[in-house]
Amino acid sequence: MSLSKGARRVVLLAYDGARLLDLTGPLEVLATANGFGACYDVTIVSRDGAPVVTDAGAGTVADGRIADLTGDLDVVIVPGGPNWPRVIHDRGILDAVRDLSARSGCVTAICAGAFLLGAAGLLDGRRATTHWRFTGELASRFPKTTVDSDALFVRDGKVVTSAGVSAGIDLTLALVEEHFGADVARSTAKDMVVFLQRPGGQSQFSVRTHHTHARHESLRKVLDTVVENPAAPHSLTAMARSAGVSVRHLNRLFREELDMTPARYVEQVRIEAAKSRLEACDEPITTIARRAGFGSPDSLRRAFAREFGVTPAAYRERFTTAAER
């Protein structure tokens, strides 16, 4: 391939079962950026150069075989997919990831593509992220990796990992800004009608499960009581009395089984209750704050800012139903 002067050489690794948007999202960003002054030469490669079938059932044509690539690369993009538990045992794919990474100035993983990097040994000693559903699994499988469960994307040296699906667009826009400047990246984002820098982290998209399966019956009773009525005055003394234990013992149970304080648990349940109401109804923020157990709308706003990096009003705007818009 004859590269244009100043061009950045990008390779997308395609394989059967890869998530379609993990491939097409970054590809669309790069193609759009080229229309605003960027210069990317993009190649899609597969193991044997044949088309692959993505998770959505749509085929993607490869430009050639992995083995046919020569020379240095600027960026390698590794997609994820629902079949990542199988792919991380594919020695041919992992060898290709290692080889491409060794020749590239930057290797990126979209969503569950982080598991391929981890299996290839590229995340050892690094920070990384992935889709919020899988951050715990990533940390468990690769204990030498520090997993950031909230970030939309994380860069550690030459390795960049992103959260789920559309976060690959966020990551690629950041690369465009790094390579060709903020003006090109901003124009690209505007043309695609997406944020150049999306506010908040991926925790605003996650769904927590507060019904933790505690071993101690007394603790389970407290957890259920808080969830059933978040707005009740759940003081430490009241919770200890409900559990039939001392305040000191209750604190110890929370630390041992939930790795948090009772006050933190109550706040998380109340945040979750507020999230659900923001998504499901058009009640005023003041009403939602009261029914979720916050003393005031300001208290709710502060809790949301700490937890998600956005206000309750902004959260509602993003997650209201399409019919309500």
**DSSP per residue over 261-316, as a string?**
-HHHHHHHHHHHHHHHHHHH----HHHHHHHHT-SSHHHHHHHHHHHHSS-HHHHH
How many other CB atoms are there within 10 angstroms of residue 304's CB atom?
23
Structure tokens at 17: 């079962």
| Three-state secondary structure call for residue 9 | strand
Candidates 171, 181, 176, 161; CA nearest to 80 is 161
Q: Virtual CA dihedral for 159, 165, 168, 173, nearest 10 degrees?
A: -150
Q: Match 């908040």 to its residue by tokens.
A: 200
- Torsion angles phi and psi, residue 40, rounded to 5: -110, 130
Active site residue 106: no
- Torsion angles phi and psi, residue 3, rounded to 5: -90, 140
CB 278 within 8 A of CB 316: yes
Catalytic member of 39, 106, 111, 281: 111
Query: For residues 225 and 264, what is the distance between their CA atoms, to the nearest angstrom?
Result: 15
Kindly list the distances between the CA atom of residue 206 and the CA atoms of 96, 102, 209, 275, 296, in Å, as whole numbers in the listed order. 32, 34, 10, 11, 24
Longest CA pairwise span in the chain (Å)? 75
CB 177 within 8 A of CB 166: no
Candidates 266, 264, 275; CA nearest to 230 is 266
- Helices 182-192 and 20-34, axial angle in degrees (round to 10): 120
Please give the positions annotated as active site.
111
